[in-house]
Structure 1
Amino acid sequence: MKDKITKELVEKFSKNFVEQLKKSAELIEKNSYIKRNHFLPEAFTGDSVSVNSFYSIDREHLMLVFMKSNKNEFNYSITTGNVFDVFDPFRIWNRSKSTGIRIENSSNIKIKSINVRGMRPIDLYGEVEIIAEDFIFNMPYPRNTDAKLEYVMIFSKQIFLNLIKKQHTFANQIVLSYSDFFENTGEKYNLNKDSSVRYISYLNQLKISMSEYFFTKNYKETDIDNFIANHPEILKYGLGLINFQSQVIMKDIHGDYGQDLKPDLIGFDSIIETWFIVDYKLPWKKVIRGSGTVRASLTAEITSLKKQLKVYRDYFNDSIQRKYVNDLYNLDVKKYPPTIGIIGTVELEERAEFNEERFDQPGWFKVVSYDELYKKVCEFIDTTSKIQ
């Protein structure tokens, strides 16, 4: 059953998606000046959401239609052929044997409204992934009637099954996409606006710049530090943090450290609902020694990073210090906070060894390499680009 689309699977995904989306939006409301109706699509601005889902068993396409509602509802229907034909129960579109747009094996289709009349507006084949807001198209019956889908997602079978594995992260990325655009522009995301086009262009340029700074070794340590400082969204998107504070100063209240402590970042993960202490080193730091031998292990660079993060972690075990930082920066870090260390770049042939070694580390210490950070930021940007 793991490789099948079922009502239970789709219902669970829909419920988790809506719950995580609202939870992430609530956290943004709590920690900023913006409200969810400022940035979320209309379908998710009410108290409840209805979900109508349709699965084409022969083409293996799943369509999820989300609408603002007075109560949470879920419906699941099975169909055949083009999944959009559920809006043509009398098969009138079949008579014209014509289609406005044929989409085949594509995951980045930009659709806002389809005004084609007298024929099927869209026909889907192969691997597809479409996310559309306020999608308007013409229905054949009642004649010349426009249908408006507040929020619709369409996935081919394997794309959906892959998405199941990261459904909470996916919902969180959706919220971050909308909220970050609003914070940067003061507008709701709209595909047809020039500001949206510029925003997507900026994100795509960020991909290129990250690749240059992280992987070419053409930049000094201070250059990389400044690049990340000037683009805090790298750590925000790469780590999935809803709220974060950069360059927090942890005052050495008791004189235990000989100086104030300054982690690079303290941020809140809305999925597991906890604050993380984050510190990063250089991308060219070596992370595996003795690669390809039975003695392969993490390098002293990671050991040093772990010790540094443990000092930051232990700081919060003291109630006076914890209260000082939390009150000063409006945080709610608890005792024994988890940590993330970002360091190095892992080559393909080192990946298995790196994973084996880092999974042996204590649960409070998570190691992320720069190639992983880059990949996660790119995934976020790709998700943002798919929001139509």
Structure 2
Amino acid sequence: MIMEKSQFLGYLNKEFINNFVEAIKNYNTDYKKMRIEIMPALPKPFRNINKLAINTIYIENVDYLVIHFSSGNKFTIDYTIQDRNIFLESLLEAEEGVFYETSSIDEVLTQDTGGFVIYLSYEAFMKRYKEPKEFAHEIIRTNVDYYSEYTKFQLNWSSKDHINKDSYISNLKGIADQFHKLIYDENTPELTIDKFLEDNSIILKGALKLDKLKHQCVLENTLSKYAHDLRPDLIGYDTFEKNWVIVDYKKANKNLMKNIDKTRTGLKSEVHSLRDQLYDYVEYFDEDQHRKEFKKKYKVNVEHPSAIGIIGKLDNNLSNEFNRLLKNEPRWLKLIPYNYLYENFISFIESGEKFLEK
């Protein structure tokens, strides 16, 4: 007997929900180890996660799943099938694949009641079903980053009567505009961009998904392996990969590729130089003595870090060729052009506007 699609989705939905909720619990444990409380930043139903009431509706005629999270007396998962839902059909006309609805950030901060609804097309659901940890991480990061940064924004806002989500989003867009001008001005010094990223760390948190940022740490040359002390621009913690990441920035006005459209297309020498510099930083933590000294000084234990190099800009029409060249680079390394970093930050802002309804 062949199971109908709607029934099959019911089985998958239960497995997805259980894995998704378990991932949030695990991330909560990981964040607590870093002394970061994430639950107050999430929509209210998730704050008592063991009493979540989850109701999934599959709307057959539009092939969508609507997953609603609310507070209940115990943990429950329900699944129902509907042929039509005029209200939801009209809502989904404007969205493609996935849409989130949650309480406003002001309600989150004041601990008011807020539900959480996820709308997923069949294709989007199957993608999330395969990667529940990544989906949980996406939801946590957006809410937690907005919660912490918005709270800081509240403290610094001069007109307390006009603090709301719109003013905060506007502030983020202003930061993005300034960053765009800096990276597209051929005369911007490297140190100017360094200082701007340090002063506006929300770009790095939102675009690179890093926490516990430590700027300009000194890696002391205790064992005399290097010509001098090392000083990476940034060290941060990737909560998804559960690993520390070393980041270094170079000039934004560099071209990344040479011999474009020729037989020996490759990365330019400046990129190789950045890779070599990052390797020194990564290799530094191979030594037990270095790790102990860094932990004593900065209160974190860094083992087997990965690295991100941010350099230059890349035209969109060269992205396929650039990705081909990256296959030859070591697994511990990511190379990110500045315009990619900017686009990732814009995506972060846009996802915040989805999550944080007026």
For residue 91 of structure 2, give the secondary structure of its aligned residue in structure 1: strand
Structure with the bigger percentage of strand: 1
CA separation of 1:104 and 1:180: change in aligned 2, threshold 3 A: closer
CA separation of 1:19 and 1:204: change in aligned 2, threshold 3 A: farther
CA separation of 1:282 and 1:161: change in aligned 2, threshold 3 A: farther
2:40 corresponding residue in structure 1: 38
Q: Is the 1:286–1:345 Cα contact (8 Å) retained in structure 2?
A: yes
1:340 corresponding residue in structure 2: 308
1:227-271 Cα distance to aligned partner (Å, 9 max, x none)? 112111212111111332222111121232232211111111111
The partner residue of 1:351 within 290, 295, 319 is 319
> Could you tell me how far apart the structure 2 residues matched to 1:157 and 1:150 are?
22
AA of the residue aligned to 1:155: L
For residue 59 of structure 1, give the secondary structure of its aligned residue in structure 2: coil
| Alignment: residue pair count | 337
> Could you tell me how far apart the structure 2 residues matched to 1:286 and 1:47 are?
49
> Could you tell me how far apart the structure 2 residues matched to 1:14 and 1:153 are?
12
> Could you tell me how far apart the structure 2 residues matched to 1:280 and 1:224 are?
8
1:224 CA displacement: 1.6
AA of the residue aligned to 2:274: L
AA of the residue aligned to 1:36: I
1:379 correspondence with 2:318: no
> Could you tell me how far apart the structure 1 residues matched to 2:120 and 2:269 are?
45
The partner residue of 1:258 within 206, 209, 227 is 227
1:133 corresponding residue in structure 2: 103
AA of the residue aligned to 2:116: Y
> Could you tell me how far apart the structure 2 residues matched to 1:223 and 1:188 are?
23
Name whichever of 57-66 and 204-213 sits farther off. 204-213
Gaps of 5+ in 1: 86-100, 108-125, 135-147
Gaps of 5+ in 2: 105-112, 155-160
1:201-220 Cα distance to aligned partner (Å, 9 max, x none)? 22222332232222343533
> Could you tell me how far apart the structure 2 residues matched to 1:151 and 1:339 are?
35
1:1-388 pair list within 5 angstroms: 6-32=9-35, 35-48=37-50, 49-68=52-71, 72-82=75-85, 102-103=90-91, 105-107=93-95, 129-133=99-103, 150-160=115-125, 168-186=133-151, 194-217=163-186, 219-334=188-303, 336-387=304-355, 388=357
CA separation of 1:159 and 1:70: change in aligned 2, threshold 3 A: same
Output the TM-score relative to the length of structure 2. Answer: 0.82
1:91 corresponding residue in structure 2: none
CA separation of 1:149 and 1:315: change in aligned 2, threshold 3 A: closer
For residue 6 of structure 1, give the secondary structure of its aligned residue in structure 2: helix
> Could you tell me how far apart the structure 1 residues matched to 2:342 and 2:75 are?
37
CA separation of 1:201 and 1:54: change in aligned 2, threshold 3 A: same
> Could you tell me how far apart the structure 2 residues matched to 1:154 and 1:297 are?
43
1:157 CA displacement: 4.2
For residue 357 of structure 1, give the secondary structure of its aligned residue in structure 2: helix
1:11 CA displacement: 3.9
Percentage identity across paired residues of the two chains: 28
CA separation of 1:188 and 1:265: change in aligned 2, threshold 3 A: closer
Q: Is the 2:311–2:336 Cα contact (8 Å) retained in structure 1?
A: yes
1:352 CA displacement: 1.2
Structure with the bigger percentage of helix: 2
> Could you tell me how far apart the structure 1 residues matched to 2:48 and 2:152 are?
19
Q: Is the 2:215–2:233 Cα contact (8 Å) retained in structure 1?
A: yes
> Could you tell me how far apart the structure 2 residues matched to 1:127 and 1:182 are?
26
Q: Which structure would you say has the larger Rg?
A: 1
Name whichever of 300-309 and 179-188 sits farther off. 179-188
> Could you tell me how far apart the structure 1 residues matched to 2:15 and 2:176 are?
33
1:317 CA displacement: 0.9
CA separation of 1:327 and 1:246: change in aligned 2, threshold 3 A: same
> Could you tell me how far apart the structure 2 residues matched to 1:62 and 1:268 are?
34
1:160 CA displacement: 4.5
Q: CA RMSD in A?
A: 3.2
